[in-house]
Structure 1
Amino acid sequence: MRALTRFGRDLRRLAAMLMLAVALAGCTHVQLAAPYDAATDTELGSVLQDTTSFVAKMVTNAGQPAGAYAQNTDFYDNMEGRLALLVARAQANRVLDTCPSTQAMARALAAADLPPAVGGKIGTPPQGDCDVVLMQLLQQQFHDLRAFHQAEGALGIPAAAVGPLLDGGLGATLRAAMAVQRAKQVNR
């Protein structure tokens, strides 16, 4: 369940970044993200569909051989390749070398002068272009899902994990990435 807690923390961090990016976008004419990419948009939808189906299948087969991690490594291997491609596309479409929203968040955290114990719990804002950061977060969350499934071993993915995985965490990040693409498409 430690991985599920990390999903929640990543989701809060992502939500803060997205809210700040939207706020900054309303105040400036600087382009904060690469232009709309139809291939990325399509692939994100496909990844969400495949992930949702996979998790449902794993919950249905929890405790059975078909739900065990060892029987499903092909899914994770395939996703690694697909997410590496999404990261590479984001890097290829890079407009900025840094993400203004993460820079603003870092400045806000520094100005807050938080005690080290509190600052350590918040973490460090990610560095890089906004789209790259978002795709790398997806990549990390799939690594976390894999580690969680692997730790569960023959037990598979329990039904209690569906909400944290698909409503929050990984699912929320996929939906946020899709929303970013849709917003870019509308604002072309």
Structure 2
Amino acid sequence: MQGLVRLTQRAWQLAAMLVFAAALAGCTHVQLAAPYDAQTDTELGSMLQDTTSFVAKMVTNAGQPAGAYAQNTDFYDNMEGRVALLVARAQANRVLNNCPSTQAMARVLSLVDLPPALSQKIGTPPQGDCDVVLMQLLQQQFHDLRAFHQAQGALGIPAVATGPLLDGGLGATLRAAMAVQRAKQLGR
């Protein structure tokens, strides 16, 4: 469960950072992310749907062979490949210089008078471009989910993990990434 708490904290940090970046993007001429990518948007929605269904299935089958980690490695292998593709797409934009570095995000965040508690939650923007960082966070969170499920072994995923996984953590990051794509689509 400790892994889920760490996962949720990182998701809140990134989500807060993205919300402020999106809000401030309208006030500045700095583009904080690559242009809208319909394929990424579609894949993120599909991944959220698949992950939500998977977690529900695992909770329903907790303690039964069908809910054990060993019976469900295909899900994790599939998600690993899908997230790797999203990371590669985001990195391609960086190579093409479509995304500025997080130095620009750090400058923008430094101009905002944030409450101390929120500043601590956001922390220092990670190195790399906005979309790359977001996709790498997704990659780490799927890895963390896999490690959690693997540690649970035959017990599977308990019902108490649903909220931390889907309302916060991985689910929140997938929704945040979808919101970023939607905002880019609408030109915000």
Mark yes or no: TM-score above 0.5. Answer: yes
Q: Which amino acid aligns with 1:41?
A: D
Structure 1 partner of 2:106: 103
Counterparts in 2 of 1:71 and 1:93: CA distance versus 1, 3 Å: same
Instruction: Flag structure 1 segments of 5+ consecutive residues without an equivalent.
Output: 109-119
Structure 2 partner of 1:56: 56
- 1:61-100 to 2 correspondence within 5 Å? 61-94=61-94, 95-100=98-103
Structure-2 separation of matches of 1:124 and 1:103: 8
Q: Secondary structure at the match of 1:93?
A: helix
RMSD of aligned alpha carbons: 2.3
Structure-2 separation of matches of 1:31 and 1:102: 10
Q: Secondary structure at the match of 1:18?
A: helix
Moved more, 53-62 or 123-132: 123-132
Structure-1 separation of matches of 2:15 and 2:108: 12
Q: Which amino acid aligns with 2:75?
A: F
The alpha-carbon deviation at position 22 of structure 1 amounts to 2.1
| Identical residues among aligned pairs (%) | 80
Counterparts in 2 of 1:163 and 1:14: CA distance versus 1, 3 Å: same
Confirm or deny: 8 A CA contact 1:36 1:184 kept in the other structure.
yes
Structure-2 separation of matches of 1:143 and 1:69: 13
* 1:60-92 C-alpha deviation (Å, 9 max, x unpaired): 000001100011111101100000000001111
TM-score, length of structure 2 as denominator length: 0.87
The alpha-carbon deviation at position 4 of structure 1 amounts to 1.0
The alpha-carbon deviation at position 105 of structure 1 amounts to 8.0
Instruction: Flag structure 2 segments of 5+ consecutive residues without an equivalent.
Output: 112-119
The alpha-carbon deviation at position 29 of structure 1 amounts to 1.3
Confirm or deny: 8 A CA contact 2:16 2:122 kept in the other structure.
no
Greater relative contact order, per chain length (Cα 8 Å cut-off, separation 6+): 2
Counterparts in 2 of 1:122 and 1:25: CA distance versus 1, 3 Å: closer
Q: Does 1:166 align with 2:169?
A: no
Structure-2 separation of matches of 1:35 and 1:122: 24
Aligned length: 178
Structure 1 partner of 2:18: 18
Structure 2 partner of 1:179: 179
Confirm or deny: 8 A CA contact 1:99 1:129 kept in the other structure.
yes
Counterparts in 2 of 1:163 and 1:123: CA distance versus 1, 3 Å: same
The alpha-carbon deviation at position 99 of structure 1 amounts to 2.2
Counterparts in 2 of 1:122 and 1:79: CA distance versus 1, 3 Å: same
Q: Secondary structure at the match of 1:85?
A: helix
